[in-house]
Structure 1
């Protein structure tokens, strides 16, 4: 890692999320003296589609039919966005690329393409595809207990027809909300959980990559890397996280993951970020 320069944490969000998700974490990092930038992937943040039919009162038929800006957005587009941010951030010193959840797919693709831009890559309960494509992991035993009922119950359109995954996070269906909370944030209060849902956007793109986007030993594999396990994650369970760690270590045995663990659910570390910020701060030394 470059010396005599403060590092920049480049934060990559997960599915349906955006840079807003990282605001509490960025505040804690700033209080520790660290700078960070949260990336909005294409079609996220202020680029997102929020149909009028998503407001109250909701219009379900219109919500299921209105086009979204994420249609046609690809993993390559996400990769290009993060590379642009890394190129600019690196002018000021070292960079740590930190990815959460689905953001790990993008982080891996970025590391495959431009490893020289990254001083350390950090996965926080994030997808790190090595032996399989991401969708194929869902058929594996480690994901057998993942309850997708919340997402299924909140899905409002046929993704193949609409061209995006559109989910109604503003649903009042108690069954869907209960299932979503169980999957994402069982350890948050109901108010905290609903507040986080209100930072989500309804659309996500469909491209999760192919075998060409799995971690590559020659590029991704030469970057120092940390995997932060979330011990109570019901969305990407610890067994699935551990499998990806094992597969990555087998791919690059001379450069294994530095493995850390945080307590809490998939979203707890973002809503109560002090421990996560303290952990991330140790990775600059």
Structure 2
């Protein structure tokens, strides 16, 4: 029986980002389901002030539906999706970037629903809470201001993170390109930014949300490194791999590498789909 790929997006993103990858997976003969986490996709807030002509003051003040959404909410939503997918056979859970936090939380809670975990340059904290990694040497070269340059409003007052991805400020666009799509064109950057949503929730988890050996650690897993990633650099990805391997030395990562920045693999997904198709052969089971 062929597995179902369940795809979990990163921050400010949504299921739309996976459409090209899903097309490639379908051409390999695989089914997939891209998840919109709570407050994402068609449930996202796009304030009138975000439309053109923009109203910066209004954008900084208007409320958003993602306020108050927690990592636990994301995990509960994903688990409901996994329960439905698991009823039809094996499940391969694929996460990107911040989506790795939700995938890890779901794997901690319900390892029985997941036959294989795949992290694509995704956060899977083991030794530290995710926020603490940003003070570590592996993240020293990251431009932490790439998003804050385009930030609208005070997160403490809004209760969420809001970034103006529709900005035309060349300095902000240059910073976003360097951080997320240095190997892409300016046109590709604008195209993908226009699939993003302005709001993201504040809850990135705590030390209690780190990978757990007794549950998460039982699931076979793959880490797909992105060799040109400037948002989660290869050194940071390698540290996450080492920590996971040390936590469960008898169940180590299958490590693969794509020659990609943080976002380019989504725009040109054929190599990633090829890798996922190979992983699928490890989780398929005979049809009864």
Structure-1-length-normalised TM-score: 0.98
Which residue is 2:94 aligned to? 98
**Of 185, 188, 204, which aligns to 1:192?**
188
Which residue is 2:229 aligned to? 233
Work out the CA distance in 2 between the residues paired with 1:91 and 1:6: 12
1:148 Cα deviation after fit: 2.2
- Uncovered stretches (5+) of structure 2, i.e. residues with no partner: 282-288
SS of 1:92's equivalent?
coil
Work out the CA distance in 2 between the residues paired with 1:149 and 1:255: 36
Which residue is 2:208 aligned to? 212
1:6 Cα deviation after fit: 1.1
Give the ranges of 4+ consecutive aligned residues of structure 1 lying more than 2 Å apart after TM superposition. none
- Uncovered stretches (5+) of structure 1, i.e. residues with no partner: none
Which residue is 1:112 aligned to? 108
SS of 2:81's equivalent?
helix
Which residue is 2:278 aligned to? 282
1:284 Cα deviation after fit: 1.5
Work out the CA distance in 2 between the residues paired with 1:142 and 1:160: 28
**CA deviations over 1:222-275 (Å, ceiling 9, x no partner):** 000000000000000000000000001000000000000000100011000000
Work out the CA distance in 1 between the residues paired with 2:145 and 2:219: 37
Which residue is 1:9 aligned to? 5
Work out the CA distance in 2 between the residues paired with 1:153 and 1:169: 11
Work out the CA distance in 2 between the residues paired with 1:57 and 1:116: 49
Which residue is 2:284 aligned to? none
**CA deviations over 1:152-196 (Å, ceiling 9, x no partner):** 110011111110000000011100100000000011111111000
Work out the CA distance in 2 between the residues paired with 1:277 and 1:260: 13
Work out the CA distance in 2 between the residues paired with 1:284 and 1:12: 17
1:12 Cα deviation after fit: 0.2
Which residue is 2:42 aligned to? 46
SS of 2:146's equivalent?
helix
User: Does structure 2 conserve the Cα–Cα contact (< 8 Å) formed by 1:97 and 1:122?
Assistant: yes
Which residue is 1:68 aligned to? 64
Which residue is 1:144 aligned to? 140
Supply the RMSD in Å over aligned alpha carbons: 0.5
Work out the CA distance in 2 between the residues paired with 1:251 and 1:214: 11
**Of 220, 242, 245, which aligns to 1:246?**
242
Work out the CA distance in 2 between the residues paired with 1:215 and 1:250: 12
